[in-house]
Amino acid sequence: MRGNSKSNTRQQQEQFIEGCRYLGLKLLAEEYQQMVDRANEGSVGYYEFINNIVHAEAAAKRQRRIESLIKSSRLPQPLKMLADFDFDFQPKLNRRLIMDLASLQFIEKNESILFTSKMNGVGKSHIARSLALIACQRGYKTYYTTCSDLINDLNAGVYEKTLEKRMRKYTNPDLLMIDEMGHDRLYPNKNKIQTFL
C-alpha cells in the first residue's frame, strides 16, 4: 500500500509540474517543493501560501520580461547604469535634469530628447544607454541602434524592397535610441554615402 501511495504522490507531482509548465508558471514548476516545505515549516495558512506562490511567480515573470526586453533592445554590453555615471567628471551637466529624464515622463508624453556636445567622450552615450536600460526595467519596449546602422539598414530596405518591414523595427518600440550621430561617425568615407531619402 505504501509503495502505491508513493507512486500516486509522484504521479500527482508530475501532473502538477506539467500543469505549471503548460500555464507558464516556470518558477512554481521548479521550486514548488521548497515552497511547500517553507509553508509547512512556518505553519502558513492556505491563502497566505497561495498568495506567496502567486507573488513569487509574478515577480519571476516580471524579471523574465525585463530580461527579454533588455535582450531585444540590442543595448551594447556591458550595460550602463545611471548610478555608475560620474557626475563630478561633468560638473556643468544638469544632474537634476538627468534624474528627471530617468522618470521617463518623456516617453509617456511622446517627447524626443537629444544629447549634444561639442566634444566626444563626455558621457552622452552612457546617459542615453542608462535611460534605455531604465525603460526596459520599467516594461517599455526599447530599441538601440547607431545612426550609421540605421541609415545602412534603411538603405538596404530600399534596395531589397523591404523598407516598410524594416521601418517597423524603429517605429514599434516605446523608446528608440539612436547613438553615435556625430558627423565623423556618420560619414567615415564620404565617397560611399548613399541615403534612402
120 band by pLDDT with thresholds 50, 70 and 90: confident
To the nearest 10°, report the CA torsion of 182, 187, 188, 192: 170
Tens digits of residue pLDDT in 121-174 = 778 889 999 999 999 999 999 999 999 999 999 999 999 999 999 999 999 999
Q: What is the pTM of this model?
A: 0.73
Q: pLDDT higher for 13 or 160?
A: 160
Domains and CATH numbers, the chain: 2-73 (no CATH), 82-192 (3.40.50.300)
Cell numbers for 144: 538601440
Per the prediction, the chain carries an average pLDDT of 82
| Pairwise CA distance, residues 134 & 140, whole Å | 9
194 pLDDT above the threshold of 50: no
pLDDT band at 4 (very low <50, low <70, confident <90, very high): low
Q: In the prediction, which pLDDT does 3 show? A: 54
d(CA 20, CA 138): 26
> Which grid cell is 66?
525585463
How does pLDDT run across 85-96, given as a tens digit for each residue? Answer: 888 888 888 889
**What's the pLDDT score for residue 183?**
53
| Model confidence band, residue 12 (pLDDT cutoffs 50, 70, 90) | confident
Contact 43, 18 (CB under 8 A): no
- Count of helices and strands (H, E) across the chain: 9, 2
The more confident residue out of 13 and 168 is 168
Quick one: cell of 162?
523591404
Give the list of residues 6+ apart from residue 82 with CB closer than 8 angstroms, or none: 98, 102, 127, 130, 131, 133, 134
pLDDT tens profile 26-69:
877 787 778 777 777 777 777 787 788 888 888 988 999 999 99
For 44, the grid coordinates are 502558513
